[in-house]
């Protein structure tokens, strides 16, 4: 089995996780910028985090033979302070030329507030000006449907944004259709408690097909499973999907989307 982990917060994980992922067939890891579990107090905290994502974590992953990529932004959870967010967004362009950067993410909404929407628009403008891919986080539980709709409206209202260059992550049964119908990619996040289980993700593949769709573990500092993608692949096999169908979902699809960035797997091209 080979797979790409398109969404994992490895700065919060131990080296054993890297080892297990490589042993399970992981070929590359992509790490969106995320909330640290506490609010950073200044733009300098983000500057250091962006250095960690573009310099230090790739070196740690390389010890296990794994290419490491990242996405940059200020996470929606820290977007209430628009002044702080504006300063952090101002730091990002100087990191965009680094060789493991894939785009702007995970941006989006958390509580669907006015300030979050403002900061989302700033990020979308940043991505458009620098021709970057976009990875979007959608809100949790009861806020997800409305938040996903608001996010799609922001992306569609900017004529510079092409939906095939944006992935809307954490889709569930009630949001996947609107994302795919609008031409965007969709990500299914495999969490043991919330978001989506492996079995539910395979239900959605059976219902909606496997185009413009990927699966990720989104493993972080909370309750999450770094091997969730290969476990879901086993569930696909159990449900009668062929090895080629599994390979498409966990390797070829992320490769196709991420290869829109010239940086992704550039050593293999
Ligand atoms: Zn995440």
pLDDT along the chain (269 residues), means of 10: 97 96 97 95 97 98 97 95 98 97 97 96 98 95 90 97 97 95 96 80 93 95 93 95 96 98 81
pLDDT at 16: 96
CA of 7 to the centre of ligand 1 (A): 6
Ligand 1 centroid from CA 157, angstroms:
25
Rounded to 5°, the CA angle 162-164-167 comes to 105
Q: How far is the CA of 105 from the centre of ligand 1 (A)?
A: 9
Sheet hosting strand 26-32, strand order edge to edge: 3-5, 26-32, 68-72, 101-108, 133-137, 166-168, 185-189, 213-216
The CA distance from 132 to 161, in Å, is 10
The Å distance, Cα 228 to ligand 1 centre, comes to: 14
Count H helices, E strands: the chain? 11, 8
CATH 3.40.50.720 fits domain 3-261: no
> Measured in angstroms, how far is the CA atom of residue 145 from the centroid of ligand 1?
18
Around ion ligand 1, residues with a beta carbon closer than 5 Å are 218
54: CA distance to ligand 1 center in Å?
17
Give pLDDT, residue 269.
53
- Cis ω for the linkage preceding 106 (within 30 of 0): yes
The pair of structure tokens assigned to 81 is: 């302070």
Domain locations along the chain: 3-261
Q: How far is the CA of 144 from the centre of ligand 1 (A)?
A: 15
Task: Give distance in angstroms: CA of 142 to centre of ligand 1.
Answer: 18
């Amino acid at each position: 089995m080979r797979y790409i982990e398109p969404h994992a917060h490895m700065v919060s994980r131990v080296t054993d996780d890297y080892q297990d992922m490589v042993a399970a067939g992981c070929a590359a890891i992509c790490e969106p910028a995320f909330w640290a579990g506490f609010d950073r107090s200044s733009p300098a905290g983000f500057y250091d985090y962006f250095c960690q994502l573009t310099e230090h974590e790739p070196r740690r992953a390389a010890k296990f033979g794994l290419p490491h990529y990242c996405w940059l932004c200020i996470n929606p959870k820290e977007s209430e302070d628009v002044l702080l967010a504006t300063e952090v967004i101002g730091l990002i362009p100087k990191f965009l030329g680094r060789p493991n950067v894939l785009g702007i993410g995970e941006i989006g909404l958390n509580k669907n507030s006015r300030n979050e929407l403002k900061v989302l628009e700033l990020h979308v403008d940043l991505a458009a000006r620098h021709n970057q891919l976009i990875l979007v986080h959608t809100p949790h539980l009861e806020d997800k449907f409305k938040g996903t709709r608001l996010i799609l409206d922001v992306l569609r209202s900017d004529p510079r944004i092409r939906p095939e260059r944006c992935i809307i992550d954490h889709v569930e049964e009630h949001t996947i259709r609107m994302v795919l119908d609008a031409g965007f990619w969709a990500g299914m996040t495999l969490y043991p408690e919330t978001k989506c289980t492996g079995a539910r993700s395979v239900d959605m593949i059976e219902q909606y097909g496997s185009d413009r769709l990927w699966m990720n573990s989104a493993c972080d500092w909370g309750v999450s499973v770094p091997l969730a993608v290969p476990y879901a692949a086993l569930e696909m096999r159990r449900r009668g999907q062929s090895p080629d169908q599994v390979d498409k979902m966990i390797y070829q699809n992320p490769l196709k989307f991420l290869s829109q960035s010239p940086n992704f797997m550039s050593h293999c091209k």
